[in-house]
Chains A and B, each alone.
Chain A
Amino acid sequence: MSTSLINWFKFASPASFYPLAGRMVPWFAAATLLLAAAGLWVGLAVAPTDAQQGEGYRIIFVHVPASWMSMFIYCVMAFWAALGLSFNTRLSGMMTSALAPTGALFAFLSLWTGSLWGKPMWGAWWVWDARLTSQLILFFLYLGFIALQAAIDDPRRADKAGAILALVGVVNVPIIYFSVQWWNTLHQGASVSMTKAPSMAHTMLLGIRLMALAFWAYTITMALIRVRCIILERELTSEWVKKNAME
């Protein structure tokens, strides 16, 4: 028990995490490329044309995984935030800020592809559908987090303030989601729901899963690259950076 704890805290130190992250980046980058290629092949070539939606539906191979990831990344950020606040580990704050831009990107991607999909489906670029609206709010939450961190000069304070915001956000996300759904049923705004046809072809599901895994690997790759940049930026004056990382 105690030995495993010590090991974890060893890697929680930026000095030992930096080279480890460097070694992991190529593997995850390769996984991203392979999985994305497989996912796109299944999604664009193998999966059958949808009976009602024609070829336009194929955007879901980006849209659905992007939506999943945008929500999932926020939860991961909240996890690192909680860890950072309770154990005061420097790496946690760095991980939280390294994940945020990717999360925001996926939230934006999900909104964009949703709107592209919406035009042929609903005849409008934007529908006040409960999910689209919640996704938009999630995007705002990401922007708020990034803006707050960017506005604070002292990195330690930026980490802590960001962590508090991420935790407040993650508590609020379900409440917001629920309230938006409640609002949606009251107003009967979008009668077309985004729910997919109940019998989704097996290959479609496979394509979505492959793409989700690809996005996952992409997130990890980007987070590791960004964490390495943040570590260098913050520890520029420390001995180990001068000795090891600047060669």
Chain B
Amino acid sequence: MLSVSHLTCQRGERVLFRDLSFALPAGQWLQVAGANGAGKTSLLRILAGLSEPAAGQVTWNGQGLRKDRAAFHADLLYLGHQGALKEELTPLENLALSLGMEGFPPDEAKVTEALHRFGLQGREMLPARYLSAGQRRRVLLSRLLLRPAPLWILDEPFTALDVHAVATLCQLIENHLAAGGSAILTSHQTFSLPAGLSVTL
């Protein structure tokens, strides 16, 4: 369970949000809503332990995020709005290398299967620079299939996706929740997921 208490986020002199508290139990998902520049990405980065809040604290299963980084990171899958793709590598290489750096033995068959699931047949060996924005996003999302993690934090996961990919992703998130996982996401698109929690900044 992720719990957030009295969180304040400040960027420069501007306070983005103040005194934010909520808890996300296992099997639930949370949508972070708010206008552009309201601090959605800043909140997600704090929840992922990348930035430090100006005040307040975040705990995962009762522990501060920086107490045991390795344990928290093993439970966390964070996909930012940057692609986290190397242009000069193929999707296959990209995923295999990042899995390797996260300490999972890269299994080529599994990676290929994940890419297929997101409709990237025939693109496995193409350098990522030749991929469209939507295809890049799908490569990034394939990571959800490759590494088990109870907590997903997804920044604008639906951006640039077509209807099929949106449906695939929703299906994935539903399965994840059914298996007792939890997810936090931001989005400006419409998508269909079972009712979840929401926070508006």
Contacts and interface: CB of A to CB of B under 8 A. Distances in A.
A153 B12 contact: yes
B32 to A, nearest CB: 22
A154 B11 CA distance: 8
Contacts of A155: 12
A235 to B, nearest CB: 8
A155 B12 CA distance: 7
A86 interface: no
A236 B13 contact: yes
A163 to B, nearest CB: 14
Contacts of A236: 13
Interface residues of A, number: 6
B13 A154 contact: no
A234, A236, A237: residue with the most chain B Cβ atoms closer than 10 Å: A237
Interface in B1-53: 11-15
Nearest to B12: A154
Contacts of A234: 13
Contacts of B14: 237
A154 to B, nearest CB: 6
B41 to A, nearest CB: 15
Interface string A153-177: 1110000000000000000000000
Nearest to A155: B12
Contacts of B12: 153-155
Interface string A45-60: 0000000000000000
Interface in A88-133: none
A210 B193 CA distance: 76
A140 B14 CA distance: 34
Nearest to A153: B12
Interface in A132-159: 153-155
A233 to B, nearest CB: 9
Contacts of A153: 12
9 closest A-B pairs by beta carbon, nearest first, are A237-B13, A154-B12, A236-B13, A153-B12, A234-B13, A155-B12, A154-B11, A237-B15, A237-B14
Given A155-B12, A236-B13, A237-B13, 6 more contacts: A153-B12, A154-B11, A154-B12, A234-B13, A237-B14, A237-B15
Interface of A: 153-155, 234, 236-237
Interface of B: 11-15
9 contacts: A153-B12, A154-B11, A154-B12, A155-B12, A234-B13, A236-B13, A237-B13, A237-B14, A237-B15
